[in-house]
Amino acid sequence: MIKYQLEEHYLKTAKTKVKVCSRCIYDERVPQIYFDSDGVCNYCKLIERLREQYGTNTKLGEENLRNIINTVKINGKSKKYDCIVGVSGGTEKMELKSTSCTL
Ligand SMILES: [Zn+2]
């Protein structure tokens, strides 16, 4: 299903000659988007900076996450809920909700 949607997206953008990020599927119709000289959008660059800042997929990032989880658990001890996770219904947010319940 997702593959089909991506193919449809690329076909649609190819027909209309909409500029598409060279790394993701965002195109020039996304609000406040701009591209560097390699065609990479500012949102991909933002993710790069955040991954570096928080150590995503590194030992340091895992330690940071564990520290946050421990803090949340300590602060939520003997309360009805540990924390509130905001979700809007998107697949990745539902995955976050599901994953956070197992940590
Ligand atoms: Zn991008």
Return the exposure string of 69-99: e unless at least 16 CB atoms fall within 10 Å of the residue's CB, then b. Answer: eeeeeeeeeeeeebeeeeeeeeeeeeeeeee
- Between the CA of 21 and the centroid of ligand 1 the distance, in Å, is 5
From ligand 1's centre to the CA of 69, what distance in Å? 30
Residue 27 Cα, ligand 1 centroid: separation in angstroms?
A: 8
pLDDT band at 94 (very low <50, low <70, confident <90, very high): confident
89 sits in the region (left: phi over 0; alpha: psi -120 to 50; else beta) called left
For residue range 10-66, list pLDDT tens digits in order: 666 666 789 999 999 999 999 999 999 999 999 999 999 999 998 999 999 999 989
- 49/60 Cα distance (integer angstroms): 15
Domain ranges of the chain: 2-54
Q: What is the CA(103)–ligand 1 centre distance, in A?
A: 30
Neighbours of ion ligand 1 (CB under 5 A): 21, 23-24, 26, 41, 44
